[in-house]
Structure 1
Amino acid sequence: MALLNEGASFPTAMWVLVRYLLVSPHRRRSRAVARAALQPASLLPAGKADGDKTFDYAVRMLRDLAIVAEDGDDLVLRDEVHLGSADSYQGFTDLLRNRVLEPHRNEGIAQPGDQGPKDLVRALACFLTLDAFRAFDEDALESLLREALPKHIPDPNFNDVRRNRFGYWSQALGFAAGPVLLTPTKLTLQPDCTPAVRRTARMLWPDGARLAARDAVTALLDALPVLPDGRYSLELELEKTAPDVSSALSFALFCGEEQGWLRFDRRSDADDEVLLVDPDRAAGTRRITHLEIMEPIDG
């Protein structure tokens, strides 16, 4: 189930099938009916009616991630509670992120092999060590894994196919941002984990929660272990690039303050503080002691 290889599905294709099942009676449909509805032969290019595997790849990936089950000839949703409504793509990507990062799917992540989602998880952990305040093109991404990962992990061969899939998956899971206007020749991504951090924070804490900054950072790293200083990043022995909180997480927290769903505080009587990477300050860091979760302006 390596997520970056040829034959792996894309989040959007998987969502089409999940959304269809969410609006189906009893959250199930026969495989043949679902295929006919979502991938009608009349819309496929000439000669591909029997050879296009988009639907099959989506089914296999959803099954491997325990989101869809096969019951005889039927496809059945397994986790309706976490999926939310058929209009909630964010709910689906939250579930995808949770399943991709689950510990049992990433055991031995620092050992050779790409079973499960480990190829994507390794790539994310490496990508998030980069400076979150700038964007990187595919030339930088191509050498990133080879230079960052321990030498005993084989060359990940971050070729065109894998880079393309990484672009889709990293943005869908909330760990990257792409340009507003896509360039036709080069993939460009910024290590922006703001969506993942925001969605995780909303699930961890209620509106109005006031947290010691160190405790909040620890909880976010535990929930998003691909971030620098997170469990997977540490297991992969990735280089630490900030004195305290990473550039990636610092950027996400600053975005939260700017967007109005986080408020920072620095109390003189606090027992501890954290240093956020802040290129706009002469010292290059900003000290905070507490975070407050605010009610989002957009709901």
Structure 2
Amino acid sequence: MALLNTPVPYPGEIWAVVRFLASRSGPVAYDTLRTFLEPHSRESKKPTTVHYALAALRSLGLAEENGGQGWILAGELAVLSWDDYAAFQRALRSAVLGLRGHQPAETADDLRRALVWSLTRDPFSESFNWTVVDSRHQRDAPDGELIFVNDTRWPPFMAWATSLGLGAPAPHIAQRYIPDCTRAVQQVLEEHLPPVAPADALDVLRLLREHLPVLPGGAISNNLGYGLADERTASAALSFALMRGKNEKWLVLSSDSDAKQPIKVQDPEQSSMRLCSSIARQEAAHV
């Protein structure tokens, strides 16, 4: 059951099931989940949203049946607080991308491939709807195959990318999507980069590519044929996230004239690439 195929529910619907399970102290029977979350469908014998949400969670290693007693959360969600959406977001991303000991779920193969392709695009200048994707862009994959077989996969892709923090609705054009990975970048740095102390900028790029391997230069991206000519150059999508961090003041990008290996970051306010030798994360609210 591929995550971009119907009738797999969107992440927001999966989150409703996860919240309910997280609010209970023990296993929850399937019928109980349907009673509370889908009371209108209790008389139907057809699989419903709850059924498909549980199947998706199980395929990602994030929920399981507990010896016939009912459903419980598993993996990184096993200790989830019912109101911690950020933790849900991180667990979902780890399961989809095969991080923290997860094996990349086969059900997410198409999603990973679509994420890799989208993150090669330029959020500074591009925004997408299905018409744009179908007519102009998606045929430039290294293997020459279509990224999206048909238009039914585009809406779930936008929903999954946004929930994973690797995309977002365009703020300036209605019904458009941009490959804005700021949320995921912020969460990775919040978790792995000590605050205040400047870190070598190239080390930060390597850290982000390790924990977000669908970024250009990351392992998944490289395996799919989207290599980088120079690891010191931040891709457009990663540059967008770093510049947002700078403008929102939770990142400080500094340049030392004596630095031996500064990175290059795309900056729309400059005619050339911005050189950056160190990156410091500022204290901020948990994300």
Q: TM-score, normalised by structure 2?
A: 0.89
Gaps of 5+ in 1: 108-114
Alpha-carbon distance, 1:234 to partner: 1.3
Deviations 1:74-115 (A, max 9, x none): 0011146676421121210111011100066449xxxxxxx3
Residues 1:24 and 2:42 aligned together: no
Q: CA separation of 1:272/1:157 partners in 2, compared to 1, >3 Å: closer, same or farther?
A: closer
Alpha-carbon distance, 1:157 to partner: 4.1
Amino acid at match of 1:278: D
Residues 1:4 and 2:10 aligned together: no
Amino acid at match of 2:141: A
CA distance in 2, matches of 1:82, 1:269: 48
Residues 1:274 and 2:266 aligned together: no
Q: Which residue of 1 aligns with 2:159?
A: 168
SS of the aligned residue for 1:252 comes to: helix
CA distance in 2, matches of 1:145, 1:241: 21
Q: CA separation of 1:128/1:181 partners in 2, compared to 1, >3 Å: closer, same or farther?
A: closer
CA distance in 1, matches of 2:47, 2:104: 30
SS of the aligned residue for 2:261 comes to: coil
- CA-based RMSD of the aligned residues comes to 2.5
Amino acid at match of 1:172: S
SS of the aligned residue for 2:275 comes to: strand
Amino acid at match of 1:61: A
Q: Which residue of 2 aligns with 1:110?
A: none
Alpha-carbon distance, 1:238 to partner: 2.3
Q: How does 1:118-137 map onto structure 2 within 5 Å?
A: 118-134=109-125, 135-137=127-129
Q: Which residue of 1 aligns with 2:37?
A: 38
Q: Which residue of 2 aligns with 1:111?
A: none
Gaps of 5+ in 2: none
Amino acid at match of 2:124: F
Alpha-carbon distance, 1:203 to partner: 0.9
CA distance in 1, matches of 2:96, 2:124: 26
SS of the aligned residue for 1:2 comes to: coil
SS of the aligned residue for 2:168 comes to: coil
1:248 to 225, 228, 237: 237
Between the two proteins, what is the percent identity of the paired residues? 32
Q: CA separation of 1:147/1:6 partners in 2, compared to 1, >3 Å: closer, same or farther?
A: same
CA distance in 2, matches of 1:83, 1:192: 29
Deviations 1:158-217 (A, max 9, x none): 32210011010011111111145985xxx5101100001001111112222321000000
- Partners of 1:11 and 1:172 within 8 A in 2: yes
- Partners of 2:77 and 2:88 within 8 A in 1: no
Q: CA separation of 1:229/1:239 partners in 2, compared to 1, >3 Å: closer, same or farther?
A: closer
- Partners of 2:76 and 2:91 within 8 A in 1: no
Residues 1:178 and 2:178 aligned together: no
Q: Which residue of 2 aligns with 1:205?
A: 193
- Partners of 2:201 and 2:276 within 8 A in 1: yes
Which region of structure 1 is more displaced relative to structure 2, 120-129 or 230-239? 230-239
Q: Which residue of 1 aligns with 2:46?
A: 51
CA distance in 2, matches of 1:231, 1:3: 21
Q: Which residue of 2 aligns with 1:147?
A: 140
CA distance in 1, matches of 2:153, 2:29: 32
Amino acid at match of 1:252: A
Aligned length: 281
CA distance in 2, matches of 1:248, 1:235: 19
Deviations 1:119-170 (A, max 9, x none): 000001000111121322222322533322413xx54443221001101001
Deviations 1:208-262 (A, max 9, x none): 2321000000110011011111111111112659882100001100111111111
Q: Which residue of 2 aligns with 1:195?
A: 183
2:216 to 197, 216, 228: 228
Q: TM-score, normalised by structure 1?
A: 0.85
